[in-house]
Every structure is written in C-alpha cells, then in structure tokens.
C-alpha cells in the first residue's frame, strides 16, 4: 500500500533540477557575503517581493524571529492574530528571545484581523503601557486553512498600523500560494508591509531556507541578528541553488496543488461522518472536522495504518495539505481511505 502523506507541504523533496543545481553551485563564504549563489538568490528574492534587499535564513521560524528582533525593542508589544503561526508554533521565541509582549487579536475565519479591533488594541501613550511597535499578518494563513489576504486588505491593515507608528511584518511562508490563487504578483501582496518572509522549503519543494525581505537598512540589521542567532552559514550556496530553481520553476505549478485541495474537499464533503467546507478552500489546505466523540488522535493513528498521513491543529480539526508529491489519483485514493476510517469510527462511537 502506498503512503499518501498529507501532513504538510514541508515534506516535499527537491527535484532533479534542484539536485543538479546544488551539485554545480558556485560557492563562497556567505558570512563575508561572498557566496555568489546566495547573493543571486537574495537579489532575485528582493526583486520578486518588490523590496530593496533580502536575507537567506535557515527557516521561516528564524525569519519571523529576526523580523521581530530587528523591528522592536525588549519590552515592546507586538500584535498578532489568535491563530498566528508566530504565536502557536515558534516556541514563544519572540517573547523568549525578543523580550516582547505578544498581544492577540482574534483571527476571523478567513485569516484577517478585524481592523477596528486592531486599532482599539494599539496602546496609546501612558506611563503604565508598553509601546506597541509591530503588527504581524500571515498570508496564506496556516491555522485558518490556507486562506489568502488580498492586497486591498493588506494595504488597509498596513495603513492603519503605519498611522499609529507601528511597523508591519508579513509572515508570507506560503505567499506564492496566495499570489497564484489571487492571480496577482507576490510583490503586490508584499507592497504595503515593511518586512515579508517566504519559505523555499514548503510547496516550492526546496530542501531548506526562507528569505526575509525589506529595506536595505532593515536587511543589514537582520543580517547581524541572524549572526547572533548562529544562523550565519558559510557555503550556503548549496541551499540557495535549490532556492533559485524553486523560484524559477515551482511557483506556477502551485495551481495544481490548489485544484487537488478542492478535489479533496469536494470528495470529503460527501462523507456524512466528517464536516468539510469546500467553499473555504482557497489554496492547498483542507480542514476537516470530526464529529464529537471521535478522538482526533485515534483517527490520525488509524488513518496512518491505512496509509494516509494527516495532522491536527487541535480539537476535532484535522489538516490535510496538498503538494507536489501527491497526484490527483492519490487524492481520490485518500478520500476512499478517509471515508473508510471516519465511517468505521463514527459507528463505533455511537
Ligand atoms: N509551518 C509548519 C509547522 O510549523 C506547523 C507546517 O507544517 O505548516 N509561518 C507559517 C505560516 C508556517 O506555516 C510555517 C511552518 C512557518 C512560518 C515556519 O517555517 P519553518 O518550518 O521553516 O520554520
């Protein structure tokens, strides 16, 4: 039985072209900024995001942390959504290492933050209060099921933040999924914000790396913070080489992953034992809801024994992510196996 792995698009492996590019990469010491391949990737990334400069980081987690470190001071307050990756999955690094207070505004179902609520959350000057200095957005939104933020929304959010003196960081780990879904250049989604990061190692299939982009001054400061965190890599061109291929060849094909996610959601919506909303699927993620009484961890384990791997963001929710290594036929097979397990478990729970 072939395993269908829908846990995350992070499991994608490099393509043959990437392996060849890694093998042939021209290298140098990137701490001295002398790795020509890293320099090329950083220039290419800055251009694509419409920013002055970019910095290769080890991971999306590191890029988000550096964005905080470089744009706040210890004791400041940052605002992020209640479902933000920065809040849930980054080990509390912004607080632990950046010393900032994280203030949360509820995420709407579609990944947005209500801007009136954001405005009310920003601190006014008061001897007792910390300074609110950064707003964090996420596009696409992971825990909201891969939902996209439009350029119009991002502009309105950034305009509000800037009016109150805040900087805006966009966690664009999957910004190319948003760009493909909305049919706009990624630079349009990033234009309103001060800093943006994106990942090479998710749907784009490169093995390692994220890029943090912004003004030249910001990136110079980010480079220093990266060094402090131990993220200054030497011949990092072997990583960057695959990243260049990812940016050149892997963006347009994301539409296939989105079509597969819609197909998966439509297939699953016909199964009475689970709840899925196909109309909420905007990119490469599908959220399913198990009925009360069915244990999520048992469901995941049992499904794993039937050769389908998925994850859970918590509660009765299960997340399935489509990516380059799952084909349309795998989607149909996954629907069949999920139906089997969900129906079995529901009848047992009665
Ligand atoms: N997300 C991973 C897990 O951490 C949950 C996944 O499987 O989806 N921002 C967003 C929006 C992300 O989804 C992720 C990874 C990151 C940042 C962190 O990237 P890495 O894993 O490179 O540190």
pTM of the model: 0.98
C-alpha 205 to ligand 1 mean position (Å): 14
Question: With left for phi above 0 and alpha for psi between -120 and 50, is residue 195 left, alpha or beta?
Answer: beta
pLDDT digits (tens, 9 = 90+) for 47-80: 999 999 999 999 999 999 999 999 999 999 999 9
Structure tokens belonging to residue 282 = 């905007």
User: From first to last of its 350 residues, what are the pLDDT tens digits of the chain?
Assistant: 899 999 999 999 999 999 999 999 999 999 999 999 999 999 999 999 999 999 999 999 999 999 999 999 999 999 999 999 999 999 999 999 999 999 999 999 999 999 999 999 999 999 999 999 999 999 999 999 999 999 999 999 999 999 999 999 999 999 999 999 999 999 999 999 999 999 999 999 999 999 999 999 999 999 999 999 999 999 999 999 999 999 999 999 999 999 999 999 999 999 999 999 999 999 999 999 999 989 999 999 999 999 999 999 999 999 999 999 999 999 999 999 999 999 988 888 77
Whose C-alpha lies nearest to ligand 1, atom 13?
142
Å from CA of 89 to ligand 1 middle: 7
175 Cα: distance to centroid of ligand 1 (angstroms): 12
Q: What is residue 346's predicted lDDT score, i.e. its pLDDT?
A: 84
Q: 């791997």: which residue's tokens?
A: 309
What is the edge-to-edge ordering of all strands in the sheet holding 317-321?
275-276, 285-289, 317-321, 311-314
Report the alpha-carbon distance of residue 298 to residue 288 in Å, rounded: 15
Query: Which atom from ligand 1 is nearest to the alpha carbon of 8?
Result: 7
Gyration radius from the chain CA atoms: 21
**DSSP secondary structure string, 134-173?**
EEEEESSBTTTTSB---HHHHHHHHHHHHHTT-EEEEE-T
Q: What is the Cα–Cα distance from 247 to 17, expressed in whole angstroms?
A: 12
Three-class SS of 290-329: CCCCCCHHHHHHHHHHCCEECEEEECCEEEEECCCCCCHH
Identify the CA nearest to 3 among candidates 273, 334, 339, 261.
334
Q: Residue 245 corresponds to which tokens in the numbers above?
A: 């291929």
Q: Which atom of ligand 1 is nearest the CA belonging to 7?
A: 7
Q: Is the CB of 210 under 6 A from ligand 1?
A: yes
Predicted confidence (pLDDT) per residue in 179-236, tens digit: 999 999 999 999 999 999 999 999 999 999 999 999 999 999 999 999 999 999 999 9
Match 């706009």 to its residue by tokens.
Answer: 184
Binding site membership of 61 for ligand 1 (Cβ less than 6 Å) = yes
Could you tell which of 5, 7, 8, 10 is best to mutate to test the pocket of ligand 1, judged by most ligand atoms within 8 Å of the CB? 10
| pLDDT at residue 91, as a whole number | 98
Atom of ligand 1 nearest to the CA of 311: 7
């Amino acid at each position: 039985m072939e395993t269908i792995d829908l846990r995350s698009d992070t499991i994608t492996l490099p393509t043959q072209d990437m392996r060849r590019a890694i093998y042939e990469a021209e290298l140098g010491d990137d701490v001295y900024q002398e790795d020509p391949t890293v320099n090329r990737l950083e220039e290419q990334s800055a251009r694509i995001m419409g920013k002055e400069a970019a910095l290769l980081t080890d991971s999306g987690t590191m890029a988000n942390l550096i964005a905080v470190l470089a744009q706040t001071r210890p004791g400041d307050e940052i605002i992020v959504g209640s479902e933000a990756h920065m809040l849930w999955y980054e080990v509390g690094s912004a607080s632990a290492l950046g010393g900032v207070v994280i203030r949360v505004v509820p995420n709407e179902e579609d990944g947005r933050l209500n801007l009136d609520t954001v405005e009310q959350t920003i601190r006014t000057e008061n001897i007792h209060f910390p300074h609110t200095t950064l707003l964090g957005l996420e596009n696409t939104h992971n825990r909201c099921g891969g939902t996209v933020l439009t350029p119009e929304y991002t502009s309105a959010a950034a305009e509000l933040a800037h009016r109150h003196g805040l900087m805006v960081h966009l966690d664009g780990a999957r910004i190319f999924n948003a760009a493909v879904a909305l049919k706009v250049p990624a630079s349009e989604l990033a234009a309103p914000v001060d800093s943006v990061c994106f990942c090479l190692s998710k749907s784009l299939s490169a093995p390692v790396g994220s890029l943090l982009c912004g003004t030249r001054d910001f990136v110079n400061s980010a480079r220093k913070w990266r060094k402090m965190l131990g993220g200054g890599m030497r011949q990092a061109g072997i990583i960057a080489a695959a990243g260049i291929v990812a940016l050149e060849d892997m963006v347009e094909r994301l539409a296939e992953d989105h079509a597969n996610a819609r197909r998966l959601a439509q297939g699953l919506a016909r199964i009475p034992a689970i709840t899925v909303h196909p109309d909420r699927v905007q990119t490469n993620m599908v959220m399913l809801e198990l009925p009360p009484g069915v244990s999520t961890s048992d469901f995941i384990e049992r499904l794993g024994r039937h050769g389908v791997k998925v994850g859970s963001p918590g509660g009765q929710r299960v997340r399935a992510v489509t990516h380059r290594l799952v084909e349309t036929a795998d989607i149909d097979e996954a629907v069949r196996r999920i139906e089997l397990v969900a129906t079995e478990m529901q009848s047992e729970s009665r």
